[in-house]
Amino acid sequence: MKKDERISRLITYSMLLAATGVLLFVPDRLLFNEDNIMCLHKMLLGIECPLCGMTRAAHDILHLRLVSAFHYNFTIYLLALLIIADAVYLIFPRPVWQLLRKVSLILLLTGLGIIYFLRIYSRLV
């Protein structure tokens, strides 16, 4: 891995760590208010996008409410796997970690596609 790429990833992970710190202290009443829809996709089409629920799921994981995080968006666990695999690859740039990064990215994208299909299907039925 090149030095510029490592620095770029370190900056990315620093921002991710800062966002996680902020998310730890966001009050529940701001995130879990169903009247406060901020998804443009849902406002325009009436269907939740594949990423709807990710912020609430991340908030619940940080507060160790793992089951409710799963109910908001189950791909949060796949995203966590991707972040961990990428962070380990950043520290130990080995081919096995690069493969795990690729597999976890494919799993995440597949999971998001499944969520989107299920949300559209449930709206049509």
The pLDDT tens digits of the residues spanning 25-35 come to: 777 777 676 66
Quote the CA–CA distance of 5 and 97 in Å, as a whole number. Answer: 16
pLDDT of residue 1: 63
pLDDT digits (tens, 9 = 90+) for 21-73: 777 777 777 767 666 667 888 888 888 899 988 988 998 998 899 999 999 99
> In terms of Cα–Cα distance, which of 119, 44, 31 is closest to 74?
119
Number of domains in the chain: 1
pLDDT of residue 19: 79
* Structural domain boundaries, residue 43: 3-124
pLDDT digits (tens, 9 = 90+) for 2-30: 778 778 878 887 887 887 777 777 777 77
pLDDT of residue 65: 92
Count Cβ atoms below 10 Å from residue 59 Cβ, excluding itself: 23
pLDDT at 93 over 80: yes
- Give 44's contacts (C-beta < 8 A, 6+ positions apart): none
Do 62 and 23 touch, CB atoms closer than 8 A? yes
Average pLDDT over residues 90-114: 92
pLDDT at 118 over 70: yes
Which amino acid makes up residue 46? G
Do 93 and 1 touch, CB atoms closer than 8 A? yes
Tokens read off for 77: 């666990």
Do 49 and 55 touch, CB atoms closer than 8 A? no
In the block, which residue shows the tokens 């908030």? Answer: 59
